[in-house]
Amino acid sequence: MMPVTVRAKKDTSRPEIAAVLFTAAQIAARVRALAKTIQAEGKGQDFVLVGVLKGSFVFIADLLRALNLPVELDFLSLSSYAGDRSSEIVRLNFDIRANVRGKKVLLVDDIVDTGFSLAFARKHLLAKGASDVEVCVLLDKPARRKVFVPVRYIGFSVPDAFVVGYGLDYNERYRELPYIGVLKSEKVEP
């Protein structure tokens, strides 16, 4: 049998992107499908969409418009840095202003990697009295998980590589790319 060569899609205008993993059209189709599932499972219930800044801003803008539901929107901001060997310290830079007491929350982020950020944010929102916090991410990088976080809705799984675009950054760059791409490994500082 002839060997099949799969050539990675490239963005010739951005040589630092090794490959395009998901095109804008693929992402749009997946976001529509996710929104349909969320809508069907939400059974028309009101909820608060909470995005984790900054990475989730493109995804949540598309998801919100694909959801045919009355929702409230708010954001919080986190930063994390390495603690001792097996831990990570997550800090709340700023909090939501919405009152989530007794309400259902859909917590939205760009990617779940180690899981520390979303585990922290979920616990934080439950402590503020949310009746339920479901998690929705565009991307899941399961190979890197260090702490369990229940993620109900996942757009795509990605391999253990640094990905950028569609809101995701590397040192605050590449958020504007309309696709999800893998950054060349020599560009990523260890």
Contact 175/165 with Cβ under 8 angstroms?
A: yes
Instruction: Please say if 160 is a catalytic residue.
Output: no
Among the residue ranges 52-60, 126-134, 137-145, 180-188, the one whose residues contact Mg ion (CB under 5 A): 52-60
| Buried residues in 1-21 as b, exposed as e (16+ CB within 10 A) | eeeeeeeeeebeeeeebbbbb
The residue from 113, 140, 160, 169 that is catalytic is 113
d(CA 180, CA 22): 5
**Measured on CA atoms in the order 20, 25, 29, 31, is the torsion positive or negative?**
positive
Cβ-based neighbour number of residue 85 at 10 Å: 5
Interface pick for ligand IMP out of 49, 112, 136, 151 (rule CB under 6 A): 112
Among the residue ranges 36-44, 57-65, 94-102, 113-121, the one whose residues contact ligand IMP (CB under 6 A): 113-121
Q: Residue 103 or 164: which CB sits closer to ligand IMP?
A: 164
Instruction: Give φ, ψ of 119 to 5 degrees.
Output: -65, -40
Fill in the per-residue mask, 73 to 102: x = in contact with ligand IMP (CB under 6 A), - = not in contact: -------x----------------------
Asked if 55 is part of the footprint of Mg ion (rule: CB under 5 A), the reply reads yes
Asked if 116 is part of the footprint of ligand IMP (rule: CB under 6 A), the reply reads yes
What's the number of CA atoms in the CB half-sphere (13 Å) around residue 3? 3
Smallest distance from ligand IMP to CB 43, Å? 29
Q: Residue 42 or 145: which CB sits closer to Mg ion?
A: 145
Strands 180-183 and 163-164, bridge-based pairing? antiparallel
Interface pick for ligand IMP out of 168, 177, 180, 181 (rule CB under 6 A): 168
Asked if 162 is part of the footprint of ligand IMP (rule: CB under 6 A), the reply reads yes
* Beta carbons within 8 Å of 33's beta carbon, 6+ residues apart: none
Catalytically active residues are 113
Give the interface with ligand IMP as residue ranges (CB under 6 A).
52, 55, 80, 109-118, 162-164, 168
Give the interface with Mg ion as residue ranges (CB under 5 A).
55
